[in-house]
Structure 1
Amino acid sequence: MKRLLAQMGITYFSVLAAAFYLPEIAVYVIGGIAAVLTIILVIIRKTRKTIDIPLMALAALIACSVHIGYGYLAVQPVVNRYGNERHTVKAVITEEPYQSYSKHYYRLKTQEIDGKSVSLKLLLKTPNEIDAKPDDILTFSSELQETDNQYYRAKGYYLVSDDNEIVVDTTSPEKHSLYYRAIQLRRFMRKSLDTLLPPDCAALCRAVLIGDKYALSHETKDHFRYAGASYFIVVSGMHFAVVILLLFRLMKRLNRWLRLVLIMAFIVLYAAVTGFQSSVLRAGIMMTFTVFGMTIRRQPYPLNHLGLSGIIMPFIVSPYGAGDVGLVLSFYATMGILLWANPILAKLCLRTKTGYNPQFRLADCLNRIKERKADGLPLKNDAEPPFSFRILLMKLWNSVAALLAVSIAANILVFPITVFVFHEFSLVTLLSAVLLYAEIYLILVLSLTVCVLYPLGILRYIAILFAYPLMWLCKLVLWLVDGVASLPFAYYRISEVFVYGWTAVTVILGVIVLLYRNRYRYLKYAALCSAIILLGGILTHQFLQMNVFTLEVYSCGNGICAGINKGGKLYLLQMDAGTKELYGIWEQLSYRYGSAEVALCCKESDRKLLELYRDDEFAISTLLLYDKKQEYTGADHTVSFDHDSTFAVDDEISIHVAVVNHTAVPYINAGDRHILIVPAGSAIDDIPPDMRTADVILLSHAVKGMEQLRCHDLIISENSALAPLTANALKDSYQHVYCTDQGDLRYRLR
């Protein structure tokens, strides 16, 4: 009965989170199975004695019902009423705006829509920055669309306004909200760190302390991701627990009820400063129950607190909020640590023959020194055993083992979720945990200390002194992350099909294990089989990808979108399509590749499209840009040109571009194959004669002067009904004619 609340809460949260990602029919099936199980288990006499199993089935049924009911009663009416129509909106900015590439994002809470009082969350995206700050009121007219981005849906943003020509009127509020004061405090903390530290160090401290990752460079964020250490640069339960436990020790001598009030006030304040992130709220709820239990002198049971937070969180945010990836990872990492950290540590720790477990216990040493001082005894105790180098090594290993145990326990559940959601994982996560945990802990404590002391008059000089070790700690962390991320085979991306296949096999193994009476014994074998399948599949995929050399032409309506896949690396050659189609292609490429080694912009307008529609999850290492006016000379990760040029982007890939009528026409040498891409609007007569002969020629549609082109295979990137007719008309002139009217095309180069 001790774990009953934990079992119900974890079951409820798990089913609610899974329902967010599953198709609606699957949620109905799970709810039906849970209903049948609940009835059967209540009827069967044996299961009445073990009430936990029927209650878990009931929790799953309630979770499915809540998800379905919330979708029908809260989400669909809003989408059906306001989606895909133009409305006049009056809304207040609830959070600080942020910029992702050339898009500015504003999180709003509506006050009126078409003159009627309506309160709902709305995301505004615009290429032009609006002169507004939190609590300001915006009035604008725009078409509202239903968002298909799972991240924003989990945050409660079901409608989005994405209008490049939007006109916004801004008015200041008569009185600021209480939350605005927390935003001001967050800004002051950022300003303090930016003043005292170099930009890269300040950005890292901001990410660790308040979860502000916007100042981190994309390269730094990629390195943390490759090193499997992304959880260090978000405010998670670990950060929250460290700060609360530190405060608890500092307030140890205060009255226990006063200490409870102060700590709960700090929990609310810290959650507000970090923007009430879901993972922080979850940790705050758990810490509230834990501190309250310690205050009333009751032994806390953290698993029950985790279960309670799983039940309460969806009511604080929304049932869809259970699908927030940050919350899910934080929840299951905490669950893994609570369940398995101590058993794993017991296996890893070294002990003497007498059973003594050598560890560094600074608090015990300090208490012992204090007691000997109070008793008037010498600080050195002659009765203590002499120094032993062997014991010292055992203490060092046990300290490392403690970090390993926590990291392994957290990753037992986080690892499969990461693979399923992000289609990627890092093999060096445990190494990153051992190398970075102590430094991140110190960065968190020192950053908080600096932010507290800096505004306090003469204490500002103490903050400046603390800033020096903080700066070197940040530089050390960045150096370590860069080194770990650059290790060979540190990071892998996995195809979506393989992820779903591996997930299905893992679920089947789990069901089989549940059928055995001694299920805990067979659980180890099932986990080992799942890991072998995953690693074996990845190694096989990597081996097959080594020799892959294909030209990929993406179906985009009118225009050309193409790239070369060499060994799993993407080289974008042309991205010329409508904005809606291009956005869909970016989503597809971000899932499959995550980044591109090179992207070629053949027109000056392409730069805007690339900046407009790529997001933080899809980075471009080098941008080759036709820049007639030389506006982007010297820009980061950009090589601009205004005349005929040749670029060697790989040992087997080179791109020659000929500037024709303010458009760059690319001619690619890929291995022993030659590819000509004729951008839309380019005249065949203007293309240099030596470029009109290639192995493969890619066109957006049939154009005048095609008889001058010489190639084996012709690819037409056109989705209209005329595409098959065009292909039939040209099949006698070329060996093969391909069209993209049936979907994306992959042409094998080797």
Structure 2
Amino acid sequence: MKRLLGLIGLVYLSVLAAVFYFNISAVIVVISVSVIITAVIIRLVKRDFEFFTNCVVLSLAAICAVLSLFLYQNIVYNPVIDKYSDKEIKISGYIADEPQLSGKGVNYIIETYSVNGVNERLKILFRSYNDLHLDEFDKLSAGLTVTQTDFDRYKSEGIFLSVNSSDKFEIQPAGEKEVNLYSYAVGLRVWIKEQLSRFFKGNDYGVICAVMLGDKSALTDDLNDSFRNTGMSHLIVVSGLHLSILLSLFTLLFKKLKPRLWMLISASAFILVYSAITGFAPSVVRAGIMQFIILLGYYLSRQPDSINSLGLAALALTLGNPYAVGNIGLLMSFAATFGILIWATPLYNFLVKALRLNSFNKRAFELKIAKKRSPRFLAYYFANRIVNFVLQIISVSLTASLWIMPITVLAFGKISPLSAIISIFAEPLAAVLLFCSLLTVVFCFIPNPFNPFALAAALCSKLLIFVIKLFAGLPFASIKADKPYFYIWIAVTVLLAIGAYFMWRYRKKGARYPVPVILLSALTLLAGFSITRMFRDKSTYLTVNCDSAGMIAAVNNDSNVSVLCCGGTNKSYKMICESLLSETDTIDYLVVPRQTKYYSSLYERFTSEFDVQETLVYDNKGAAADADCVLCEPYTITKSNLLPGAVNSVYAYNNFSCQYLKTDGKSVLLLTTGTDISKIPVNMRAADIIVTASVPANCELLTCTDLYFTGSQKTFQKHLSDLEGVCDSLIRVNCETIKIKCNGE
């Protein structure tokens, strides 16, 4: 098989992802062994050596992927977690990268020299709501209480431990800086951002930094959500597209460089420098490896195979670090590239044939050969270029969207059906924007009003923002894809496409079949969406996921969600997310009662999964009073748009918070640990249902019908009489989900 290397790499990557996310290693091993046995039988019976070789090699690749992930987890990951998680350690190290804004906080990556006096290299994620006044590569010593990180993205970068600024810590800057090759690349990135800030402000600066460097910290939440909802997130996350565009410009300028070896060396250096500036993003590294193979083929006068290059890039990225598949962007990059390589050209040829553009293209070519410069030639020439350019963008965007669809459905629960159309306008603008931004930095010595590249970049940025916001406002710019009707639609569409293919194959009338296939597919999707909306439940529910570490409570109905973060483990977080994601991807209010490990650690998880409209963080010490999401005085927030006649109130005072929901059917009070009932408003002390994680001070002031206690068994038994005195029915729940319908019986 000519592309065996490519298939080995892609099978290895796919199996790693399946085992990492779904833990089905035993199933994969059994299937692989079965395939090998079947191949051996076929080899003995039919003597098909090529089929036998392919099955054995690919099955062994799958088994090796399972084995490598198992070894990495038990040799690299688990020892670190067992040795340091939930323990206080003393470290010396340095800030390993530029501090990154994340929501309302700042993330610092610390790389250690030593841990507890022993030389050991670890990476630790330090989250803070406050600016610690630490810059990139500052050396420091610290005493930290670290915990296991729950974010797959950080695990993919080798960051297994994290710490929150609210936990016990002590940091002492050393007053020196770490100097290495990567520090120069980060310094160049910071310098580029400084130059861009001279020429651009506001959304223009945010978009240009995102397109050029992949830095989204300056983007507003609304604009970031618009890119995500339109399926254009790849434009503001540095990917292979950006590297390909810049490398095309580079090779265009230096293609006559002789000998070829100098071209190879200079282009490779450019790939390495750009990858370092962007933080070695997996998608950029993938594109860099493929581009290097293409350049090497150019130097050796050989034509490399793209599929084999893609497989080699997969092996290069995952052999040393199987956890690299924890980065969703890496999987989407490989899926989109593979889809483009095998489907884009056939789809383009099909569109040309279906639209009967062959004669049009032929006529334009004939006029070009004849070197006729008449108006007719110019009309044919430019029309031909524009039509073919649009068809190429549609082909590439549609095939990439189809191949990443399973990943986006599983990871995000939604798709962007208009992404292929939006790409026609957005991708050319992003390419021009990237060119002009680079030239703006190169010619930064030209003052702002007179720099033509800065003016062009600003214009492209404004047009790109306009296009994204325009399409983001359309009803079907983004649709949820985790409903049963969506999977039915996919199955029907696949069956229709297969049927149309065979009818075209054997009846030679294929040009007529795409139209009814598209219409039937669209009708199936529309019918499923309409039926689901028609019979949706419009009730208001209170969902509480609780365990030994606390609880997470969500109040939601058909269109609004309010979440109160009260701790809980990763399991309770996943349970509440699964419950909410089946209904919505937007949280109106995210309430963080205080800055402690079990409370604030969930903030970044929710903001990464949902579109959080407003965040409230209570800090009675006033340490983070400069943050616009932090309230330091007692406050009451009331939301009355859940249902007509429904009121959802949040009250915070003296390091505790409570949430009170009142509808026409029930009233519910949620209490966090440390609540003093004498401090909350009198009208909140009486409710039909009370959910509490501990025994509040002055609990005798409460009255309710049902009381759900989510704390420990020991505390429950100790205060049993006190709890029974305030309710008609006392229920203790442990590590489970409570779902209460709040309007009606």
Report the equivalent of 2:614.
622
Alpha-carbon separation, structure 1, partners of 2:697 and 2:254: 82
Q: Which amino acid aligns with 1:298?
A: R
Alpha-carbon separation, structure 1, partners of 2:415 and 2:677: 46
Q: Kindly indicate whether the alpha-carbon contact (under 8 Å) linking 1:607 and 1:625 is maintained by their aligned counterparts in 2.
A: no
Q: Mapping of 1:37-436 within 5 angstroms?
A: 37-38=35-36, 40-42=38-40, 44-45=43-44, 46-50=47-51, 51-101=53-103, 103-127=105-129, 129-162=131-164, 164-171=167-174, 176-255=179-258, 256-315=260-319, 318-349=321-352, 355-358=358-361, 380-381=373-374, 387=379, 396-436=386-426
Structure 1 residue 721 displacement after superposition: 5.5
Q: Which amino acid aligns with 1:571?
A: S
| Counterparts in 2 of 1:65 and 1:651: CA distance versus 1, 3 Å | closer
Structure 2 SS opposite 1:257: helix
| Counterparts in 2 of 1:477 and 1:584: CA distance versus 1, 3 Å | farther
TM-score by length of 2: 0.81
Structure 1 SS opposite 2:297: helix
Tell which deviates more after alignment, 252-261 or 393-402.
393-402
| Counterparts in 2 of 1:536 and 1:89: CA distance versus 1, 3 Å | farther
Q: Kindly indicate whether the alpha-carbon contact (under 8 Å) linking 2:109 and 2:125 is maintained by their aligned counterparts in 1.
A: yes
Structure 1 residue 2 displacement after superposition: 2.5
Alpha-carbon separation, structure 2, partners of 1:638 and 1:359: 65
Alignment of 1:564 onto 2:555: yes
Alpha-carbon separation, structure 2, partners of 1:531 and 1:77: 52
Alpha-carbon separation, structure 2, partners of 1:83 and 1:360: 70
Alpha-carbon separation, structure 1, partners of 2:519 and 2:719: 54
The equivalent position to 1:27 in structure 2, one of 5, 25, 28, is 25
**What's the C-alpha RMSD, in Å, of the aligned pairs?**
4.6
CA offsets, 1:231-274, max 9 Å, x none? 11111111111111221122222223322221111011111111
CA offsets, 1:652-671, max 9 Å, x none? 23346789999887653435
Structure 2 SS opposite 1:554: strand
Alignment of 1:648 onto 2:636: no
Structure 1 SS opposite 2:283: helix
CA offsets, 1:496-554, max 9 Å, x none? x979x969x98xx99xx9xxx99x99xx9999999999988776655554424212233
Q: Which amino acid aligns with 2:285?
A: L
Report the equivalent of 1:478.
465
Alpha-carbon separation, structure 2, partners of 1:65 and 1:95: 32
- Stretches of structure 2 that go unaligned for 5 or more consecutive residues are 507-513
Structure 2 SS opposite 1:276: coil
Q: Kindly indicate whether the alpha-carbon contact (under 8 Å) linking 2:105 and 2:129 is maintained by their aligned counterparts in 1.
A: yes
Structure 1 SS opposite 2:358: coil
The equivalent position to 1:720 in structure 2, one of 688, 709, 713, is 713
Q: Percent identity?
A: 25
| Counterparts in 2 of 1:557 and 1:395: CA distance versus 1, 3 Å | same
Alpha-carbon separation, structure 2, partners of 1:286 and 1:660: 57
Tell which deviates more after alignment, 192-201 or 668-677.
668-677
Q: Which amino acid aligns with 1:425?
A: I
Tell which deviates more after alignment, 470-479 or 440-449.
470-479
Structure 1 SS opposite 2:561: strand
Alpha-carbon separation, structure 2, partners of 1:16 and 1:687: 51
Q: Which amino acid aligns with 1:211?
A: G
Report the equivalent of 2:434.
444
Q: Kindly indicate whether the alpha-carbon contact (under 8 Å) linking 2:556 and 2:562 is maintained by their aligned counterparts in 1.
A: yes
Alpha-carbon separation, structure 2, partners of 1:136 and 1:422: 36
Report the equivalent of 1:375.
none
Q: Which amino acid aligns with 1:410?
A: A
Structure 1 SS opposite 2:546: coil
Alpha-carbon separation, structure 2, partners of 1:558 and 1:119: 30
| Counterparts in 2 of 1:354 and 1:612: CA distance versus 1, 3 Å | closer
CA offsets, 1:547-598, max 9 Å, x none? 24212233255877533211153123x44x3x5x277655554553444112
The equivalent position to 1:469 in structure 2, one of 456, 474, 498, is 456
Alpha-carbon separation, structure 2, partners of 1:360 and 1:692: 82
Structure 2 SS opposite 1:157: coil
Tell which deviates more after alignment, 256-265 or 697-706.
697-706
Q: Which amino acid aligns with 2:734?
A: D
Q: Kindly indicate whether the alpha-carbon contact (under 8 Å) linking 2:690 and 2:706 is maintained by their aligned counterparts in 1.
A: yes
Structure 2 SS opposite 1:213: coil
The equivalent position to 2:546 in structure 1, one of 540, 546, 555, is 555
Structure 2 SS opposite 1:487: coil
Structure 1 residue 302 displacement after superposition: 1.3
| Counterparts in 2 of 1:224 and 1:48: CA distance versus 1, 3 Å | same
Alpha-carbon separation, structure 2, partners of 1:469 and 1:198: 14
Tell which deviates more after alignment, 482-491 or 121-130.
121-130
| Counterparts in 2 of 1:108 and 1:528: CA distance versus 1, 3 Å | farther
Tell which deviates more after alignment, 526-535 or 266-275.
526-535
Q: Kindly indicate whether the alpha-carbon contact (under 8 Å) linking 1:103 and 1:612 is maintained by their aligned counterparts in 2.
A: no
Tell which deviates more after alignment, 250-259 or 41-50.
41-50
Alpha-carbon separation, structure 2, partners of 1:56 and 1:140: 48
Q: Kindly indicate whether the alpha-carbon contact (under 8 Å) linking 2:673 and 2:696 is maintained by their aligned counterparts in 1.
A: no
Q: Kindly indicate whether the alpha-carbon contact (under 8 Å) linking 1:697 and 1:714 is maintained by their aligned counterparts in 2.
A: yes
| Counterparts in 2 of 1:350 and 1:246: CA distance versus 1, 3 Å | farther
Tell which deviates more after alignment, 666-675 or 204-213.
666-675
| Counterparts in 2 of 1:741 and 1:20: CA distance versus 1, 3 Å | closer
Structure 1 SS opposite 2:359: coil
Alpha-carbon separation, structure 1, partners of 2:653 and 2:120: 54
Alpha-carbon separation, structure 1, partners of 2:648 and 2:192: 47
| Counterparts in 2 of 1:359 and 1:239: CA distance versus 1, 3 Å | farther
Q: Which amino acid aligns with 2:415?
A: F
Alpha-carbon separation, structure 2, partners of 1:310 and 1:644: 52
Alpha-carbon separation, structure 1, partners of 2:664 and 2:525: 32
Alpha-carbon separation, structure 2, partners of 1:665 and 1:560: 12
Alpha-carbon separation, structure 2, partners of 1:354 and 1:302: 28
| Counterparts in 2 of 1:20 and 1:540: CA distance versus 1, 3 Å | farther
Tell which deviates more after alignment, 609-618 or 237-246.
609-618
Aligned residues: 712
- Stretches of structure 1 that go unaligned for 5 or more consecutive residues are 373-378
Alpha-carbon separation, structure 2, partners of 1:494 and 1:724: 45
Q: Which amino acid aligns with 1:313?
A: L
TM-score by length of 1: 0.81
Alpha-carbon separation, structure 1, partners of 2:417 and 2:556: 24
| Counterparts in 2 of 1:313 and 1:186: CA distance versus 1, 3 Å | same
Alpha-carbon separation, structure 2, partners of 1:638 and 1:167: 23
Alignment of 1:491 onto 2:478: yes
Alpha-carbon separation, structure 2, partners of 1:58 and 1:67: 14
Q: Kindly indicate whether the alpha-carbon contact (under 8 Å) linking 1:545 and 1:568 is maintained by their aligned counterparts in 2.
A: no
Structure 2 SS opposite 1:356: helix
Structure 1 SS opposite 2:713: coil
Alpha-carbon separation, structure 2, partners of 1:658 and 1:10: 52
Q: Which amino acid aligns with 1:278?
A: P
| Counterparts in 2 of 1:40 and 1:559: CA distance versus 1, 3 Å | closer
CA offsets, 1:663-709, max 9 Å, x none? 88765343554445566666667776666655545555667987876
Structure 1 residue 606 displacement after superposition: 7.2
Alpha-carbon separation, structure 1, partners of 2:282 and 2:726: 61
Q: Which amino acid aligns with 1:200?
A: N
Tell which deviates more after alignment, 274-283 or 661-670.
661-670
